[in-house]
Chain A
Amino acid sequence: MIISTLSTVILDSNLGWTGLVQSSLSCLTIVTGLFFVFAGTIGVLRFPDFYTRLHAAGMTDTLGAELILVGLILQSGFTQTSLKLMMIGFFLLLTSPTATHAIAHSAYTANLKPKLGKHNFSKIRGGRS
């Protein structure tokens, strides 16, 4: 399957060198972004208390989303589409820290105490423990 797809890429398409480099760069960027999104999700499921989960969600919001948007910009070239994608990335950069701060601040004013100090965690926690 993979080999046949790769052969289609190299033999059948008339991409040229620039197109091939552009497509593979975009694939690489999107795969890195997807990895960060996945790691953020795992972190939100795995971390022991609310304040530490915020950090994992921040990982998804910053590098994950931005890298995927950069990959899509590389796919589209310089058009109106890429300008719109840049705008989405800009709004994400502005709004996601504000939303995170709002959630953290209202948890803090509602007297949700963070679990401080050095500790280990090994298993996935959930439910009302």
Chain B
Amino acid sequence: MRHAVLLSLVMAATWLVLSGYFIGMILTFGVISIALVVWMTKRLAILDDETVPYLNIVKTCKYYVWLFIEIVKANIQVLKAVVSPNSEISPTLVKIPMRSNIDIAQTMFANSITLTPGTVSVDVREDHILVHALLKEMSNPEDFYEMHSRSAGAVSIGLKDK
């Protein structure tokens, strides 16, 4: 029930932003489509914390602020490699162990790795991620462990031990 209310609130906000009209007919269409989507989600039996991850939005915002700073740092490093006239790169493939088996935590982690320039997740398996790094100093497992624990904390999920 709580998930249904949250989902319809978020969808109503999306509808209002995209349409921008406050006429009775269009608002009625909006209410009908929201009700239809909530009913279909309930029938699919996926109305749970993974489909509606809006409860811990504060933590997620904090995580994205941290990730933005990391992205800026990584961008400057890649920028140096691009613009210096005779630059030296050391591409590395490194296996990062996955310490969570919940889908949304894995997705957040792999997305964050790819979002940071200089590291791209090439192959995602159940127990590890294969990461291609542009420079050797970007493939430090401790940094990835910090990113993993923070991204799992953003969806309020703990990690397994090392």
Q: Do chains A and B touch in the complex (CB under 8 A)?
A: yes
Interface size range of chain A in the complex: 35 or more
Contacts of B86 in A (CB 8 A): 120, 122
- Say how far B23's CB is from chain A's closest CB, in angstroms: 15
- Please report whether the interface of chain B is mostly helix, strand, loop or mixed according to DSSP: mixed
Given known pairs A36-B75, A55-B134, A105-B123, the reply for A84 and B117 (CB within 8 Å) is no
Q: Which of B24-32, B51-59, B87-95, B148-156 contacts A (4 or more CB under 8 A)?
A: B87-95
Interface string of A47-73 (1 = CB under 8 A from B): 101011011101100110000000000
A21: Cβ under 8 A from any B Cβ: no
Within 8 A of B (CB), among A80-129: 80, 83-84, 87, 93-94, 96-98, 100-101, 104-105, 108, 114-122
Q: Are B110 and A101 in contact (CB under 8 A)?
A: yes
Q: Does A39 contact B (CB under 8 A)?
A: yes
Cβ contact within 8 Å between A114 and B91: yes
Judge whether A59 and B79 touch: CB under 8 Å.
Answer: yes
Q: CB distance A104 to B134 under 8 Å? A: no
B159 on the A face (CB < 8 A): no
Given contact pairs A36-B79, A46-B82, A55-B118, A63 touches B71 in the complex (Cβ within 8 A): yes
Shortest distance between the CB of B109 and any CB in chain A (Å): 11
How many B residues are at the interface, by size bracket?
35 or more
| A-contact 0/1 string along B96-126, CB 8 Å cutoff | 0000000000000011001111111111100
Which residues of B sit under 8 angstroms from A59, Cβ to Cβ? Answer: 75, 78-79, 82, 117
Nearest residue, chain A, Cβ from B82: A43
Q: Any chain A CB within 8 A of the CB of B18?
A: yes
Task: List, sorted by A's number, 26 A–B pairs whose CB atoms are closer than 8 Å.
Answer: A36-B79, A40-B82, A52-B89, A55-B119, A58-B115, A58-B120, A59-B79, A59-B117, A62-B71, A84-B17, A84-B18, A87-B14, A94-B111, A97-B114, A98-B114, A101-B114, A104-B121, A104-B122, A104-B132, A105-B123, A114-B91, A114-B132, A116-B93, A119-B90, A120-B87, A121-B89
Given contacts A117-B90, A120-B88, A122-B86, 10 further A-B contacts (CB under 8 A): A54-B120, A54-B132, A55-B134, A59-B75, A87-B14, A97-B115, A104-B121, A104-B132, A105-B123, A108-B123
